[in-house]
């Protein structure tokens, strides 16, 4: 017989140092329309004010229980809560997430037949701001073992399950992450099935600690270990698909692409990824890796595409994708990106404000359309047979709109806005002759422009003889035992399609071998002085004197060039300094406080005037740290005055943390800029800086 005092839902909340968010999580429980719940807050060794905040809340709320334990991880905390839970159903809620007010009401109703249910979860950034990302739970058959294995999953706090179905099943505490996937898979193996409710039930806050190639690789390794372990035994195709998603997530933080490649090459077999997989992974996982939504493509399209090109090229070279796949993926990716752009704004521009407007469908796109119409002060009605008046208010709060009943006839004089992306089947059911503005048509039109932009960034340029108007340029640098970074840098220069040579002061045999892999573009001089711990000043002077013959760009082996960087920089050099007696500084994209002239493109006439190779004059002078040679040359050029900064010509550092930061060991508390300016003044006072009368 059911205990009348038994709560319907026991909520288990693992908490560790969540003082900033735990109250919001608890308040979301107190706002539930289903009032029969208890929450067991398991304090997992917090060292902040989390426990005190919960005690204060519990003093006024008898449904809150605080349980203290030494830190054992989220799995151990949830197991402690399961041991003390008394509810008919079990739910989980981490202390930095929260629930929608009708979450339990809806999930309990959906769980009536199966004993478990799940709903949609929306992501937000660490500050709680919504980001657009796929919300996968939709209508359909209940979720079971095969669905979880194939990647159709739900957030841990987007579900409830009858406690008797849980039984003695517990979370594994030996996993570095993903213990929730293993827990739900185990329940599914025992017969649990989660009925679906397609409505939003909770929010998931992205944590900064979840970023980084090492974290992604570890998470994939944990998931693979779970899925390959009997009785789950996922298929090779399912494992490969997850590997590709995680590898794509690494691309923006892995300039050499070696870490991303290792995730796929470590599968033990050669996978084949389709154009559709490539487009879907890029669309969702590149923004997610930077804690942003899919709408970030409209801001970062060129940057994303530039990095994506290298990754897709690598996949083709390794045999993981057909050579035709990148080109086939572009229209698919463009269509996905276009759907995140200002489609509602374009549709609203087509409407006549004085005539009736009816929004068809109130899903994610319909809500965006309603918000746009309301922001423009336009009156409109909504038609969605699956939406009740209460849900209308919930989905578009603060917006006044009329819900048209399902039985009401269509207004032949109204302007209808179809918000479904795949609308053909629905349009066939509507009366003929309705005036219709289609979301899908607008996306198709926008996607053509997006595809053209993607093609410029993603498809390789044909190798043709350089135009006569293109002046050759020499890139010179020193490199010592960093072959992977040097190879990435050389390949980025090659991919620009510009007539350039990469001239390297090689400090080790490995660097020479790297240059020999690119005989048409790279050349090196072996200088054993690098092995005598005198920095890179002497080798740089050596390569400058022996190899540089044209306009010259000083760079480093830990950077990659944007595809049009050299074209833009050379065009700017000769438009500003027609005789070549000047300097153009390239932009360091991922170093906000980088030197404007740390990567200077120097015209030949400028070099002949201040450091002619035939004179034997050094271009660099020894300093305290070889790290600051680029700063020295940049500050020197600034004093000469013949220079401009070109922000459109960009390079990307493979060590972005170095820019504008503090280094108390080398710099004695000064920033790089402050240290180098002081160092330059010291050298200038001793007459060590070249060609200067400033």
Segment 477-489, tens digit of pLDDT: 878 778 888 888 9
pLDDT, mean of residues 150-168: 92
% of the chain at pLDDT higher than 90:
46
The structure tokens listed for 243 are: 């590997």
The per-residue b/e assignment along 55-76, b for 16 or more CB within 10 angstroms, e otherwise, is: eebbeeeeebbbbeeeebbbbb
**Which pLDDT does position 666 carry in this prediction?**
39
Question: How far, in whole angstroms, is CA 172 from its chain's centroid?
Answer: 29
Say how far apart CA 508 and CA 481 lie, in whole Å. 6
- Which of the two residues, 97 and 505, has the higher pLDDT score? 97
pLDDT of 544 > 90? The answer is: no
CATH 3.90.550.10 holds for 473-685:
yes
**Beta pairing partners, 59:** none
Give DSSP secondary structure letters for 70-92.
Answer: ----HHHHHHHHHHH--SSEEEE
As a whole number, the mean pLDDT across the chain is 83
Ranking 83-92, 215-224, 353-362 by mean pLDDT, the lowest is 215-224
Ranking 343-352, 355-364, 496-505 by mean pLDDT, the lowest is 496-505
- Which of the two residues, 289 and 356, has the higher pLDDT score? 356
Ranking 47-56, 121-130, 341-350 by mean pLDDT, the lowest is 121-130
Segment 51-67, tens digit of pLDDT: 999 999 999 999 999 99
pLDDT of 157 > 80? The answer is: yes
**Which pLDDT does position 406 carry in this prediction?**
87
Is the separation of the CB atoms in 308 and 412 below 8 Å? no
Segment 170-200, tens digit of pLDDT: 999 998 888 999 999 999 999 999 999 988 8
pLDDT of 245 > 70? The answer is: yes
pLDDT of 294 > 90? The answer is: no
Ranking 315-329, 350-364, 490-504 by mean pLDDT, the lowest is 490-504
Ranking 106-115, 271-280, 385-394, 619-628 by mean pLDDT, the lowest is 619-628
Give the list of residues 6+ apart from residue 192 with CB closer than 8 angstroms, or none: 114, 115, 116, 144, 161, 165, 184
> Which CA distances in Å does 181 have to 89, 186, 568, 684?
19, 9, 49, 63
Say how far apart CA 143 and CA 693 lie, in whole Å. 76
Domain pair 9-208 / 343-449, same fold: no
**Which pLDDT does position 38 carry in this prediction?**
97
> Which CA distances in Å does 150 have to 77, 177, 237, 351?
28, 18, 9, 43
- Which of the two residues, 131 and 20, has the higher pLDDT score? 20
Give the list of residues 6+ apart from residue 223 with CB closer than 8 angstroms, or none: 178, 181, 242
Domain coordinates in residue numbering, the chain: 9-208, 213-340, 343-449, 473-685
Segment 582-629, tens digit of pLDDT: 889 888 776 655 556 678 898 888 887 766 655 555 555 544 333 344
**Which pLDDT does position 591 carry in this prediction?**
61
**Which pLDDT does position 611 carry in this prediction?**
65
Count the neighbouring beta carbons within 10 Å of the beta carbon of residue 179. Answer: 23
Ranking 73-82, 610-619, 639-648 by mean pLDDT, the lowest is 610-619
Say how far apart CA 144 and CA 83 lie, in whole Å. 25
CA gyration radius, the chain: 30
pLDDT, mean of residues 297-311: 84
Say how far apart CA 509 and CA 495 lie, in whole Å. 25
**Which pLDDT does position 566 carry in this prediction?**
93
**Which pLDDT does position 691 carry in this prediction?**
39
| Most confident among 132-141, 289-298, 526-535 (mean pLDDT) | 289-298
Q: Is the omega angle on the peptide bond into residue 214 within 30 degrees of 0, that is, cis?
A: no
- Which of the two residues, 497 and 681, has the higher pLDDT score? 497
pLDDT bin (cut points 50, 70, 90) of residue 139 is low
pLDDT of 323 > 60? The answer is: yes
**Which pLDDT does position 677 carry in this prediction?**
59
Could you give phi then psi for residue 418, rounded to 5 degrees?
Answer: -85, 115
pLDDT of 535 > 50? The answer is: no
Length of the chain as a residue count: 694
pTM: 0.66
The structure tokens listed for 517 are: 């892999």
pLDDT bin (cut points 50, 70, 90) of residue 658 is very low
Query: Up-side HSE of residue 656: CA atoms within 13 Å toward CB?
Result: 13
**Which pLDDT does position 628 carry in this prediction?**
44
pLDDT, mean of residues 377-403: 92
Which residue has 């050298």 as its token pair? 683
- Which of the two residues, 526 and 342, has the higher pLDDT score? 342
Is the separation of the CB atoms in 473 and 447 below 8 Å? no
CATH of region 343-449, choose from 3.90.730.10, 3.30.1330.60, 3.40.50.620, 3.40.50.720: 3.40.50.720
pLDDT of 569 > 90? The answer is: yes
Say how far apart CA 46 and CA 64 lie, in whole Å. 18
**CATH class held by domain 9-208:** alpha beta
**Which pLDDT does position 675 carry in this prediction?**
59
pLDDT, mean of residues 351-374: 94
Using DSSP, state whether 504 is helix, strand or coil: strand
pLDDT, mean of residues 287-302: 83
């Amino acid at each position: 017989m059911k205990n009348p005092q038994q709560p319907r839902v026991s909520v288990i909340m693992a908490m560790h140092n969540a003082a900033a968010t735990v109250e919001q999580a608890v308040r979301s429980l107190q706002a539930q329309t289903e009032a029969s719940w208890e929450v067991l807050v398991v304090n997992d060794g917090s060292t902040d004010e989390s426990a005190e905040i919960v005690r204060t809340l519990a003093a006024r709320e008898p449904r809150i229980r605080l349980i203290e334990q030494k830190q054992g991880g989220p799995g151990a905390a949830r197991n402690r809560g399961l041991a003390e839970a008394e509810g008919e159903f079990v739910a989980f809620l981490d202390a930095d997430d929260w629930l929608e007010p009708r979450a339990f009401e809806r999930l309990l109703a959906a769980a009536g037949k199966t004993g478990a249910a799940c709903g949609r979860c929306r992501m937000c950034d660490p500050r709680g701001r919504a980001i657009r990302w796929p919300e996968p739970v939709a209508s359909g058959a209940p979720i079971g073992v095969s669905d979880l294995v194939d990647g159709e999953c739900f957030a841990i706090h987007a579900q409830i399950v009858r406690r008797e179905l849980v039984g003695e099943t517990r979370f594994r505490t030996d996993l570095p992450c993903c213990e929730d996937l293993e827990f739900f898979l185990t329940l599914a193996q025992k017969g649990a099935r989660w009925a679906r409710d397609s409505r939003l039930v909770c929010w998931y806050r992205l944590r900064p600690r979840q970023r980084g190639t090492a974290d992604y690789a570890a998470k994939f390794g944990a998931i693979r270990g779970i899925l390959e372990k009997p009785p789950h035994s996922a298929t090779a195709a399912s494992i490969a698909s997850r590997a590709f998603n995680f590898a794509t997530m690494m691309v923006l933080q892995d300039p050499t692409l070696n870490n991303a490649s290792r995730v796929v090459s470590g599968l033990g077999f050669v996978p084949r990824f389709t154009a559709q997989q490539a487009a879907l992974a890029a669309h969702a996982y590149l923004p997610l890796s930077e804690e942003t939504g899919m709408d970030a493509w409209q801001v970062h399209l060129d940057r994303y595409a530039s990095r994506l090109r290298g990754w897709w090229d690598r996949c083709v070279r390794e045999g993981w994708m057909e050579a035709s796949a990148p080109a086939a993926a572009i229209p698919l990716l463009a269509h996905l990106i276009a759907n995140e752009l200002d489609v509602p704004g374009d549709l609203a521009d087509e409407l006549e404000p004085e005539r009736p407007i009816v929004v068809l469908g109130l899903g994610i796109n319909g809500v965006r359309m309603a918000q746009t119409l309301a922001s423009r002060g336009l009156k409109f009605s909504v038609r969605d047979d699956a939406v009740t008046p209460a849900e209308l208010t919930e989905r578009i709060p603060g917006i006044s709109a009329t819900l048209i009943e399902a039985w009401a006839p269509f207004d032949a004089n109204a302007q209808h806005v179809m918000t479904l992306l795949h609308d053909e089947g629905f349009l066939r059911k509507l009366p003929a002759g309705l005036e219709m503005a289609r979301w899908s048509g607008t996306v198709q039109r926008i996607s053509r422009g997006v595809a053209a932009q993607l093609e410029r960034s993603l498809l390789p340029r044909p190798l043709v003889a350089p135009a006569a108007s293109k002046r050759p340029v020499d890139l010179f640098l020193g490199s010592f035992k960093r072959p992977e970074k040097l190879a990435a840098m050389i390949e980025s220069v090659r991919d620009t399609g510009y007539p350039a040579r990469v001239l390297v002061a090689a400090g080790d045999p490995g660097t020479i071998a790297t240059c020999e892999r690119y005989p048409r573009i790279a050349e090196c001089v072996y200088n054993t002085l690098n092995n005598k711990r005198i920095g890179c000043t002497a080798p740089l002077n050596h390569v400058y004197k022996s190899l540089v013959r044209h306009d010259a760009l000083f760079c480093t082996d830990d950077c990659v060039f944007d595809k049009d960087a050299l074209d833009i920089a050379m065009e700017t050099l000769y438009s500003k300094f027609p005789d070549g007696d000047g300097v153009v500084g390239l932009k360091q994209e991922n170093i906000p406080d980088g030197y404007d002239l740390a990567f200077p493109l120097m015209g030949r006439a400028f070099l002949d005037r201040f450091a002619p190779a035939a004179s034997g004059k050094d271009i660099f002078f020894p300093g305290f740290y070889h790290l600051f040679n680029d700063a020295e040359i940049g500050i020197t050029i600034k004093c000469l005055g013949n220079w401009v900064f070109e922000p459109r010509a960009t390079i990307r550092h493979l060590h972005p943390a170095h820019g504008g930061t503090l280094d108390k060991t080398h710099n004695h508390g000064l920033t790089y800029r402050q240290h180098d300016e002081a160092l330059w003044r010291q050298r200038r006072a001793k007459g060590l800086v070249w060609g200067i009368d400033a």
